[in-house]
Chain A
C-alpha cells in the first residue's frame, strides 16, 4: 500500500469513532453552515435545470411555438415558487406524522433556535424550503414539453398552480415529508417517483385529455413527424439538465457537514454522471440498430433517461451498476417513444418516455443495489403515486377543459401559438412558410422548413 492510501485509511479510521457518536453529538455550527450551503448551492443547480427544460423544449418544438414554450417554462417556474410558499411546502412537510398530508398555511422561516446557538435543526429553514421548491418546479416543467404546441397558456398555468400547490406536495409528503410511504421504507432518494413519475403521470393525463396535435397521426397508424426547430438548443438544454442533475441527486444527500456525507455526495455524483453516460450510449446504440441512423433527439432523451433512472437510488450502486441502470433507461426510452405514438398519445419532447417510464424503472431498480429496499415497497410507492396523480390530475385537467377550455382552436394551432396566444414570434426576422409534403397534410407542415430556408447557407445542395 502506498503512502497516500495509508494516510487515507488512517484518516478514515480516525473519523469512524466520530461518526459513531455523530448522532449523539450536538450539531456544530460548521456542520449547520455546510448543510445549509449544500442545500443552497445544489438548489441553485436544480433551478438551472429549469433552463435546461426550457431550452430542450424550445429546440424540440416548431418555430411557430417557440416563444410560447419559453414563456410557459419560465412562468411555470415562477408559479411553482409562489405556490410552494403559499401552501406547497407545509402541505408536504408540516405535521405529516406518517399520514397522507401535511397542513395548510403560508410557509415562513423559523431559525430562532439556530440564531440562539442551537444548531440541532441541522440547516437553515429557508435553505430547505428553497431546495424543495426547485424540485417542485422541476416536476412541473415535465408537463410543459409533453402538452406543447396545442395547449392554451393560462389554462396550462392554472393546472401548474394546482399541481405545484396541491398534487405534488400531497404525494411528496408520503415519501419525503415523513408520511406513510417513508414509514414503510419506500426509497426514492431524489425523486424518480416523487418528482419524475409525478410529472409524467400529470403529463400523460394532459396529453390524453388534450388530444394529439392536428395532423400528427394519420390513417393506418401513420405517424407524421413534426421535427423540432433547433437541435443545438435541444442539445444545450440536455447538457444543462445533466449538469443540474448533479445538484438534483448530489443535494439529496441532504448534508455536507461531515466526511461520510461528502463521500456519499461524491459517489452520488459519479453514479449520476455514469448513468447518464450509460443511457446516452445505450439509446444511441438502440436507435442505430433499429433505424440504421442515430437520431440526435433520441440520444438526448437517452441521456436524460439514464439520469431519471438513477435518481431513485444514486448512492448505493457501484459505478458499473450505475451505468447499467442508466443503460436500461436508455433502451426503454427508445422503445417507449414509438410506443406512445402507437397509442396516439402525442408527446412532443418524449417527456413520458423519459420521466414516466424511466421514473418507474428507476424506482423499481433500487432494491437491486440497496439491501434496505424491497421490490414490494417500491411497487406500492409507484402504484400509490400513480393512482393519486392519475386521478387528481385528470380531475383538474377535465375541470379546466370543461370550464375555460385547455386546447387552442385549430386555426390557432395552425398559425402557431406564438402569434395566436401571445402575439409575438420567436424568430420575427424569418418568413414562415408552411409547406405540406413533410408527411403532414398541407397547412400543418413544419415551420422549421422556413427556419431552415432562411438560415441554410447558400452552398448546400
Chain B
C-alpha cells in the first residue's frame, strides 16, 4: 500500500477529486494547508505598513491506495491539477505499513 500526498491549488480540488473517483477510488482525506515552494509569496499592505505573505493557501489530498494504482493516480493528478504556472504543487509517494478499517477491523488492501 502506498500513500499519495498531493498538494495542489485550492481551486483545482473539484477537478482532481473527480479524476480520482473516476479511477475507482472511493475515499480521500482533504486538508487546508499553507505553504510555499518556489512560488514564494506576495506583499500586502495594512494601515500603511507592508508585510510579506509567504504562506499561500493550498489543499492537501491524502490517498492510501494499492501500489499498482499509483502511476494512474499520479498521471491523473498532474493532468487535472496542473496550470503550467508556478505554484501548481507537488505529489509525494510513501510506503504505508498498515491499514485498518475501524468499523469492521479489516486490515490490509481490503480496508482501503
Mark A residues whose CB is within 8 Å of B.
223-227, 290-291, 293, 295, 297-298, 334, 337-338, 341, 350, 435, 437-440, 449, 452-454, 456, 458-461
Contact = CB atoms under 8 A, between A and B. Distances in A.
Nearest to A457: B10
Interface stretch (B48-56, B70-78, B101-109): B48-56
Nearest to B31: A453
Contacts of B46: 225-227, 295, 297
B52 A461 contact: no
B10 A461 contact: yes
Contact of B11 (A435, A440, A454, A458): A458
B22 interface: no
B53 A438 contact: yes
A438 B34 CA distance: 12
Interface of B: 9-11, 13-14, 32-34, 41, 44-55, 57, 59, 87
Contacts of B14: 458-459
B45 A341 contact: no
B45 A293 contact: yes
Contact of B10 (A334, A440, A456): A456
Contacts of A440: 51
Contact of B47 (A337, A438, A439, A453): A337
Nearest to A433: B34
A3 B100 CA distance: 89
B10 A459 contact: yes
Contacts of A295: 45-48
Given A453-B32, A454-B32, A460 B11 contact: yes
Contacts of B48: 223, 290-291, 295, 298, 334, 337-338, 341
B51 to A, nearest CB: 3
B34 A435 contact: yes
5 contacts: A225-B51, A437-B54, A456-B57, A459-B11, A461-B11
A290 B32 CA distance: 35
Shortest 9 CB-CB contacts between residues of A and residues of B: A439-B51, A225-B46, A223-B49, A437-B54, A338-B48, A459-B11, A225-B49, A225-B51, A227-B46
**Most chain A Cβ neighbours within 10 Å, of B32, B47, B52, B55:** B47
Nearest to A222: B49
